[in-house]
Amino acid sequence: MSSRLNPYLSFRDTAREAMEFYRDVFGGELTVSTFGEFGMPVEPAENDLVMHAQLETPTGFLLMGADTPSSMSVSTNGTVSLSGDDEADLRRWWDGLSDGATPGVPLEKAPWGDTFGMLTDRHGIGWMVNIAG
């Protein structure tokens, strides 16, 4: 078994919608478990919220996420970075993430020679995309 580093995103009541959105953008298989399925001690209204979701994509990405129960503070998410030299895939993912997003830096030629852009998706997650020049 090898080790892997992957983002784990925190949401308040919107993890299922967000993870389904990322599945639509990146493809792959999404598994979702709720607090109620595992008998976790949450408010009864939170039983159907996502305790753990995991998206495994055809390109080998692993993205995880969960809802944060009302008894806890939602952690601040950092920025997820997508980078590489497969321009077609990276532009397709940028376009998918852009649906309903707040623009940051347009995806265009950067001073260092790569194509770079930043946005905050409709679920409040920051994304950076860098296409090697």
pTM for the model: 0.84
Q: In this predicted model, which residue has the larger pLDDT, 1 or 93?
A: 93
Burial class (CB in 10 A: 0-12, 13-18, 19+), 53: buried
What pLDDT does residue 122 have?
94
**How open is the CA angle 90-96-88, to the nearest 5 degrees?**
25
Res 101: pLDDT: 96
